[in-house]
C-alpha cells in the first residue's frame, strides 16, 4: 500500500439546512477557482432547478479545490432524510468527512444517521460547528451534545478524538476556537490537510468503483468514481463488472478530473483520485471498472430499502392527453427505467395492470421530487396515495417505524400529543427549556407519519420543526382510520362558474377558481362531514327577466384553497388519485361516477 499525499477526499455531511452547500461555496470562492469578478451567486452546487426552488440539496455532487498544492476532492451531500440513499452511495469515495452541526439546533436525527454511516465507513471526522455568527449560538452545549452522539455511535476509542472547528459558512471563515476572531476559511483547509488521511492506493492494474453517472449529449454516459488501484488513460481498454458478475469490454474515451465547477481533460489519472470517464455506454452505479488483465469486482454499494410506495400509471382522466407531451405506458416505463440508473433507492415494479407501475422510495419527498421532475419534462400520469411498505418476516406482518423529533413551543404539546395518539405514536422523550421551547421525541409507524407534516404545520402555526429517522421494521400495529372528512366531487363535466362554486362553498371549502374546466368525479373541495358530496360547480343561475337584487351580480367567493403537489399526496385517500400534468395537478375519485362509487360501496359493505 502506498499513499497519495497530493490528494484528500472528503464528504460533507449533516442534517438538512446545517449549511453544507454554503460551506462548499466558501471553499470554492476562497480557493480562487473562479475568474476575478465572475458572478457565481450562492448555493452554487445546488444546480438542479428543483434544488434551487426548494432550497435543499437533492443529489450528491463532486467538486474539487487546490490548497497549498494539494487537491481536495469534495462531495456535497443532501441532508434531508428522504435522500439518505445519496449519502450511502457516495460516502465510500471519501477518506474523511466534515460533519456540520448547526450552532443553535445542535445534532439532529439526520446528524445521527450520517455520523453512524461515516463512522462505520471508517472515515476521519472533523466536526464543524457552523453558523457561529448567529448571536443565539449555544456552542458549549452543542459541543457536549455532539460528544454524547460520538460516545453513542463510535466503534473504536480512536473515533472519540475528533477535531472541532467553528465556522460561519455564510461569512466564509473557520477558526479553531470560538474565542478567535474570524478571518477566512483557510484553517478548515489546513485541518483537512493535517487530519484527513491521504488516500491509500494499491499498486497494480486499474480498478475503479462507479459511484455516480452523468450524461452529456456529446460525450454520452459519464461514469464517476474513485480509482482504487492503478491508473487510467484515454483509449485504455477496460472491462466493467456488473451486479450479476457479467463482464463487458470497453475502450475509455476521455478521462476527466474535477476542479471547481469544471471537469478537465487529463492525460491520465491514478489511484486515490476521483475521476469521470467516458466511453462506457452501459456501465451502472455500483459496477467496477477495471483493467482487462485483472478483472476483480469491488464490494457493491449497499443502499437502505425503500419504506413508502405508490402507483404511477397512465392518466385515465377524461382530460388525458390534453396537456402532456409524453404519457403512454411505453414512455412512462422508459422514463422510470432511466431514473433507476441514478436514483439508487428507488424501485419500480410492474402491477397487475399493464398501464400502472408501483414506485417504492425512501419517503414522500423522495417520490414527490421524481413526480415533479417528470411533470416538468412534459410527462402526464396519475399517482395514488403514498403508503408504508409492509413485509412479511417469518410469517409475521411487519411495518416500518420511525423516530419523530419535534421542536416547538410548549403551548402546542397538548394538541400535538392528541393528534399523534391517533397516529399510533408513543412519546419517548420530552425536554423543555426555561424559554418555553420544547423537544418531543416519538416512536411512530411510517403509515402514521404519512400526511402528518401538513397537519403539524397548521397545528403549530409554523412555530415548529419536525424531523424523522427510520428505525426499522416492527410488527404491524393495525389500521389507522383516516380522519379526513369527505370531499366535494364535481357531478358534471364543464367549466366551473362563480354561481356553482358559491353553492359549493355552502357545503365546505373549494379548491378551484371560476373558469377551471372540471370533469365528473374530479375533487373540487372538502366538506365537514364524513361522506363525499356531489356538487355541480358548473351550474348557472336560473335566468329570469327580473333582477331580484344587486347582490346576485357580485357574489364574493372565498379564495380557493391551493395545495402543492406534496400536499395533494398527503391529502388524498386510498380511493382517490392525483392527476399530474405539466400544467395542472387535479384530484379525482378513482371511480368517476356517483353510481360506480355507490355500487362499489355496497359491494364493500360486510353482509349482515
Ligand X SMILES: Nc1nc2c(ncn2[C@@H]2O[C@H](COP(=O)(O)OP(=O)(O)OP(=O)(O)O)[C@@H](O)[C@H]2O)c(=O)[nH]1
Per-residue x/- track, 3-42, ligand X (CB under 6 A): -----------x-xxxxxxx--------------------
Nearer to ligand X, 78 or 107 (CB): 78
| Secondary structure class of 244 (helix, strand, coil) | coil
| Minimum distance of ligand X from residue 15's CB (angstroms) | 7
Nearer to ligand X, 40 or 151 (CB): 40
| Secondary structure class of 365 (helix, strand, coil) | helix
Binding to ligand X in span 280-309, by CB under 6 A: none
Tell me which of Mg ion, ligand X, none is bound by residue 169, counting a contact when its beta carbon lies within the kind-specific cut-off of 5 to 8 angstroms: ligand X
Nearer to Mg ion, 48 or 329 (CB): 48
> What pairs with residue 309 in β-bridges?
360, 387
For residues 399 and 396, give the distance between their C-alpha atoms in angstroms, rounded to a whole number. 10
Tell me which of Mg ion, ligand X, none is bound by residue 109, counting a contact when its beta carbon lies within the kind-specific cut-off of 5 to 8 angstroms: none
User: How many residues belong to the site for Mg ion (CB under 5 A)?
Assistant: 3
Is 117 a binding residue for ligand X by CB under 6 A? The answer is no
| Minimum distance of ligand X from residue 378's CB (angstroms) | 27
Cell of 341: 440508473
Binding to ligand X in span 152-171, by CB under 6 A: 168-170
Nearer to ligand X, 182 or 253 (CB): 182
Nearer to ligand X, 230 or 363 (CB): 363
Tell me which of ligand X, Mg ion, none is bound by residue 291, counting a contact when its beta carbon lies within the kind-specific cut-off of 5 to 8 angstroms: none
Nearer to Mg ion, 21 or 257 (CB): 21
Phi, psi of 562 (to 5 degrees): -105, 135
Rounded (10°) CA dihedral 504, 509, 512, 518: -50
Nearer to ligand X, 43 or 497 (CB): 43
> What pairs with residue 163 in β-bridges?
126
| Secondary structure class of 273 (helix, strand, coil) | coil
Is 20 a binding residue for Mg ion by CB under 5 A? The answer is yes
The DSSP result for 463-506, as a single string, is --EEEEEEEEEEE-----------EEEE-S-EE--HHHHHHHHT
Asked if 117 and 88 touch (Cβ cutoff 8 Å), the reply is: yes
Cell 422514463 sits at which residue?
335
Nearer to ligand X, 56 or 526 (CB): 56
Is 57 a binding residue for Mg ion by CB under 5 A? The answer is yes
Vertex 517: Cα angle to 512 and 519 (nearest 5):
100
> What pairs with residue 576 in β-bridges?
589
Per-residue x/- track, 64-93, ligand X (CB under 6 A): --------------xxx-------------
Nearer to ligand X, 23 or 280 (CB): 23
Question: Given the DSSP bridges, would you call strands 522-527 and 508-510 parallel, antiparallel or unpaired?
Answer: antiparallel
Exposed/middle/buried for residue 121 (C-beta within 10 Å: 0-12, 13-18, 19+): middle
> What pairs with residue 237 in β-bridges?
251
Per-residue x/- track, 436-475, Mg ion (CB under 5 A): ----------------------------------------
| Minimum distance of ligand X from residue 468's CB (angstroms) | 14
Tell me which of Mg ion, ligand X, none is bound by residue 168, counting a contact when its beta carbon lies within the kind-specific cut-off of 5 to 8 angstroms: ligand X
Q: Using H for helix, E for strand and C for coil, what is the string for 520-572? A: CCEEEEEECCCCCEEECCCCCCCCCCCCCCHHHCCCCCCCCCCCCHHHHHHHC
Cell of 428: 419517548
Binding to Mg ion in span 383-442, by CB under 5 A: none
Which residues, in sequence order, are CB contacts of 142 under 8 Å at separation 6+? Answer: 101, 102, 103, 104, 106, 107, 129
| Minimum distance of ligand X from residue 167's CB (angstroms) | 6
Tell me which of ligand X, Mg ion, none is bound by residue 133, counting a contact when its beta carbon lies within the kind-specific cut-off of 5 to 8 angstroms: ligand X
| Minimum distance of Mg ion from residue 343's CB (angstroms) | 18
Considering Cα of 221, then 224, then 228, then 234, what sign does the dihedral take? positive
- Point out which span in 54-62, 476-484, 510-518, 586-594 binds Mg ion (CB under 5 A): 54-62
Give the CA radius of gyration of the chain: 27
Question: Given the DSSP bridges, would you call strands 173-175 and 163-168 parallel, antiparallel or unpaired?
Answer: antiparallel
For residues 164 and 177, give the distance between their C-alpha atoms in angstroms, rounded to a whole number. 8
Nearer to Mg ion, 20 or 589 (CB): 20
List residues near Mg ion by CB under 5 A: 20-21, 57
Residues at the interface with ligand X (CB under 6 A): 14, 16-22, 43, 56-57, 78-80, 130-131, 133-134, 168-170
Amino acid at each position: 500500500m502506498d499513499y497519495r499525499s497530493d490528494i484528500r477526499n472528503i464528504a460533507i455531511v449533516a442534517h438538512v439546512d446545517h449549511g453544507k452547500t454554503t460551506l462548499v461555496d466558501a471553499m470554492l470562492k476562497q480557493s480562487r477557482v473562479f475568474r476575478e469578478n465572475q458572478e457565481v451567486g450562492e448555493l452554487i452546487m445546488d444546480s438542479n432547478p428543483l434544488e434551487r426552488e426548494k432550497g435543499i440539496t437533492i443529489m450528491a455532487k463532486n467538486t474539487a479545490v487546490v490548497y497549498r498544492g494539494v487537491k481536495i476532492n469534495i462531495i456535497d451531500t443532501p441532508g434531508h432524510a428522504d435522500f439518505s440513499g445519496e449519502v450511502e452511495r457516495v460516502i465510500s469515495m471519501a477518506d474523511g468527512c466534515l460533519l456540520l452541526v448547526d450552532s443553535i439546533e445542535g445534532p439532529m436525527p439526520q446528524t445521527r444517521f450520517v455520523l453512524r454511516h461515516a463512522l462505520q465507513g471508517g472515515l476521519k471526522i472533523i466536526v464543524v460547528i457552523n453558523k457561529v455568527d448567529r448571536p443565539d449560538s449555544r456552542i458549549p452545549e452543542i459541543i457536549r451534545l455532539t460528544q454524547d452522539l460520538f460516545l453513542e455511535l463510535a466503534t473504536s476509542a480512536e473515533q472519540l478524538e475528533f477535531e472541532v472547528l467553528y465556522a460561519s459558512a455564510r461569512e466564509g471563515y473557520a477558526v479553531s476556537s470560538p474565542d478567535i476572531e474570524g478571518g477566512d476559511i483557510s484553517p478548515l483547509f489546513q485541518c483537512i490537510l493535517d487530519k484527513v488521511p491521504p488516500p491509500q492506493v494499491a499498486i497494480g492494474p486499474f480498478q475503479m468503483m462507479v459511484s455516480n453517472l452523468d450524461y452529456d449529449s456529446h460525450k454520452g454516459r459519464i461514469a464517476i468514481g474513485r480509482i482504487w488501484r492503478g491508473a487510467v488513460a484515454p483509449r485504455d481498454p477496460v472491462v466493467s463488472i456488473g451486479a450479476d458478475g457479467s463482464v463487458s469490454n470497453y475502450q475509455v474515451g476521455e478521462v476527466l478530473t474535477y476542479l471547481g465547477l469544471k471537469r478537465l481533460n487529463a492525460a491520465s489519472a491514478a489511484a486515490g483520485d476521483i475521476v469521470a470517464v467516458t466511453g462506457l455506454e452501459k456501465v451502472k452505479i455500483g459496477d467496477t471498472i477495471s483493467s482487462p488483465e485483472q478483472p476483480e469486482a469491488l464490494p457493491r454499494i449497499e443502499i437502505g430499502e425503500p419504506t413508502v410506495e405508490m402507483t404511477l400509471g397512465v392518466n385515465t382522466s377524461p382530460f388525458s392527453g390534453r396537456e402532456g407531451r409524453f404519457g403512454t405506458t411505453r414512455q412512462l416505463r422508459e422514463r422510470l427505467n432511466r431514473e433507476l440508473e441514478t436514483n439508487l433507492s428507488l424501485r419500480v415494479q410492474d402491477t397487475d395492470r399493464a398501464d400502472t407501475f408501483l414506485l417504492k422510495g425512501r419517503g414522500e419527498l423522495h417520490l414527490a421530487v421524481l413526480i415533479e421532475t417528470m411533470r416538468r419534462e412534459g410527462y402526464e400520469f396519475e399517482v395514488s396515495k403514498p403508503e408504508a411498505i409492509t413485509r412479511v418476516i417469518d410469517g409475521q406482518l411487519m411495518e416500518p417505524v420511525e423516530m419523530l423529533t419535534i421542536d416547538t413551543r410548549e403551548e402546542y404539546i397538548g394538541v400535538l400529543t392528541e393528534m399523534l395518539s391517533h397516529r399510533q405514536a408513543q412519546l419517548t422523550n420530552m425536554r423543555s427549556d426555561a424559554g418555553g421551547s420544547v423537544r418531543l421525541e416519538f416512536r411512530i409507524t411510517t403509515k402514521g407519519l404519512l400526511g402528518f407534516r401538513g397537519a403539524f404545520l397548521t397545528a403549530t402555526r409554523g412555530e415548529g420543526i419536525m424531523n424523522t429517522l427510520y428505525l426499522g421494521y416492527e410488527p404491524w400495529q393495525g389500521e389507522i382510520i383516516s380522519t379526513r372528512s369527505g370531499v366535494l366531487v364535481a357531478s358534471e363535466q364543464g367549466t366551473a362558474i362563480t354561481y356553482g362554486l358559491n353553492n359549493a362553498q355552502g357545503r365546505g371549502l373549494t379548491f378551484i377558481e371560476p373558469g377551471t374546466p372540471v370533469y365528473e368525479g374530479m375533487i373540487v373541495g372538502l366538506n365537514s362531514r364524513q361522506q363525499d358530496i356531489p356538487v355541480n360547480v358548473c351550474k348557472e343561475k336560473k335566468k329570469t327577466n327580473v333582477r331580484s337584487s344587486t347582490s346576485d351580480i357580485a357574489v364574493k367567493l372565498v379564495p380557493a384553497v391551493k395545495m402543492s403537489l406534496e400536499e395533494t399526496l398527503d391529502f388524498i385517500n386510498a380511493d382517490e388519485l392525483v392527476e399530474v400534468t405539466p400544467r395542472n395537478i387535479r384530484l379525482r375519485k378513482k371511480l368517476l361516477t356517483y353510481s360506480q362509487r355507490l355500487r362499489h360501496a355496497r359491494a364493500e359493505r360486510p353482509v349482515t
